[in-house]
Structure 1
Amino acid sequence: MAAKTVLNYLPRESVIHKLTGTTKLAFFLLFTFASMITYNTWVLLGLFAVSLAAFKLSKIKFREVRFMMIFMLVFLVLNNLFIFLFDPNQGTTLYGTRHVLCHLFWRYDLTAEQLFYMVNISLKYFVALPVAILFISATNPSEFAASLNSIGISYKVGYSVAIALRYIPDIQRDYHSISQAQQARGVELGKNEHFFARLKNSVNILLPLILTSLNRIDTISNAMELRGFGKDKKRTWYMKRPFEKRDFVAIGVGVVLLVVSMTVTIRWGRFYNPFV
């Protein structure tokens, strides 16, 4: 069975994949800024709908990015927990009202404003994550490097990022192969073993994985040096595609979303308070 990988390119025949790397980078930045500058629930819900629509258009299945979704949910729960533990009154401070639902213990009152604030925090993550996953999963690393170079970033930096994105799935496959070899030798990594025992056995995989990674990096470095990489100040790109109508439409949508988010934030404030 092939190793399951995350944060890797998933080729599809979709309108999202057909966009140029520069377009996807521009839309990602515009969409991220639009979601960052506001806590207005209605704006976030609108951005969330756009995010889900883009994910649907990409034809990428949920099971293919399930690990990232689960990781986000775990991080989200911990983030909200620590927000409440460190400052249970942050929501009341931001919204300017206080409606206590119940008293928990000591100084911890569960307020409607705090719950609403944490819902908005969670919504911001749900807005940004699908687009971030799309940006990684629907963009060929070489095309991404070309897009970085097209906005003025050195092609050496762009190429380094492309190699890193290509290298992540390789590391995961190497880890999977090494873990299977270790299990064949009697090293238990399954659920039947205790957690700390599995953790200790997993550490034993790191040394061969590091050695394999260093060997691959050395091979890539030698190959690039033999081909004269970095000799010239500019380079051409095989994956660089011309802009088409759909690219202008995608960037236009990103600009409209950013303008709407900024307009709502300036006119009605950054926080929407339903308790007034």
Structure 2
Amino acid sequence: MLAYAKLDSPIHRLTGAAKLLFFALWSMGAMITFDTRFLVGFIVFGLVLLKVSRVRLREYSFLLYLIGAFFLLNHVAIYLFSPLEGVKIYGTKHVLLQLPGRYDLTAEQLFYQLNIALKYLAVIPIAFLFILTTDPGEFAASLNRVKVSYKIAYAVSIALRYIPDIQRDFQNISFSAQARGVDISAKEKLGKRLRNVIGILMPLILSSIERIETISAAMELRGFGRGKRRTWYKDRPFGPGDYGALAFIAVVLAALVWLTIARGSRFYNVFESPLF
């Protein structure tokens, strides 16, 4: 699961509010455009930022598998429910493989779904960066700075802080169960493994509920929620790096909007080339 990785990098030194605004504007730009050239540029720049942050692949590899599964399911659904969407968008039809009914495989559909894939790949690195390089306390402060209720911001902060605790509790309970002969490895049959995992999850849920009650009681005793506003220990003022990052993404977003308006379409049509 994703959790904050405390490192020293230019990305980590940016404030949480700046990273939140950068991520929001970056996602907006990726949603606006279907220009393949811009999306490829987004992906390359996002991967460079991921490298600069020094965050290791193992910190988010599990989420990549889940996203990959959803990614494939999404593309299959797009083709099943709208196999000629690319033809409608680009106005031409180049059949690569004839299939029954309306399911002819066209170059336009492949190019359209390629752009959908590029949109995913453009946003994912920045999303990982935002979560993995932002301290939960500073994340809550950044949410409150952009006018989100401090109660909601604090709830999000607690949830992010709680993820490593849940992982640690699950491992401890799992090790204790395995020491008593409960097998959850691949050697056991699938049905038995699922029952054993459920047996581990129940103590985990009960311990989580107990911890939630403890935290709630502590917050209530300290008068949390009585005031309309609150201060934040992790809140930091913007620095030159923050202003530079926001200026950069603002210029990129403005260029995307201008290009979309000037061209009259969000789509880059490669099929207008003489090649086709």
TM-score normalised by length of structure 1 = 0.93
- Residues of 1 paired with 2:238 and 2:109: CA distance? 45
- In the other structure, the counterpart of 1:200 is 195
- In the other structure, the counterpart of 1:230 is 225
* Match of residue 21, structure 2, among 15, 23, 26: 26
- In the other structure, the counterpart of 2:267 is 271
User: What fraction of aligned residue pairs are identical, expressed as a percent?
Assistant: 51
- Residues of 1 paired with 2:112 and 2:175: CA distance? 45
**Counterpart residue type for residue 31 of structure 1:** W
Q: Tell whether the 8 Å contact from 2:87 to 2:109 is kept in structure 1 after alignment.
A: yes
- Residues of 1 paired with 2:186 and 2:219: CA distance? 42
Question: How many residue pairs align between the two structures?
Answer: 271
Q: Tell whether the 8 Å contact from 1:25 to 1:147 is kept in structure 2 after alignment.
A: yes
Q: Report which stretch shifted further, 80-89 or 104-113.
A: 104-113
Q: Report which stretch shifted further, 98-107 or 57-66.
A: 98-107
- Residues of 2 paired with 1:106 and 1:179: CA distance? 51
* Match of residue 114, structure 1, among 109, 114, 118: 109
Give the Å deviation of 1:91: 1.4
TM-score normalised by length of structure 2 = 0.93
- Residues of 1 paired with 2:174 and 2:91: CA distance? 54
Q: Tell whether the 8 Å contact from 1:98 to 1:111 is kept in structure 2 after alignment.
A: yes
**Counterpart residue type for residue 65 of structure 2:** I
Give the Å deviation of 1:106: 4.2
- In the other structure, the counterpart of 2:256 is 261
Gapped runs of 5+ residues in structure 1? Answer: 1-5
- In the other structure, the counterpart of 2:215 is 220
- Residues of 2 paired with 1:76 and 1:19: CA distance? 30
1:99 aligns with 2:94: yes
- Residues of 2 paired with 1:84 and 1:199: CA distance? 33
* Match of residue 52, structure 1, among 37, 47, 52: 47
The correspondence of residues 17-96 of structure 1 with structure 2, limited to 5 A, is: 17-96=12-91
**Counterpart residue type for residue 36 of structure 2:** T
Gapped runs of 5+ residues in structure 2? Answer: none
- Residues of 1 paired with 2:122 and 2:189: CA distance? 37
* Match of residue 166, structure 1, among 161, 165, 170: 161
Q: Tell whether the 8 Å contact from 2:2 to 2:59 is kept in structure 1 after alignment.
A: no
Q: Tell whether the 8 Å contact from 1:35 to 1:261 is kept in structure 2 after alignment.
A: no
Q: Tell whether the 8 Å contact from 2:23 to 2:126 is kept in structure 1 after alignment.
A: yes
The root-mean-square deviation of aligned C-alpha atoms, in Å, is 1.5
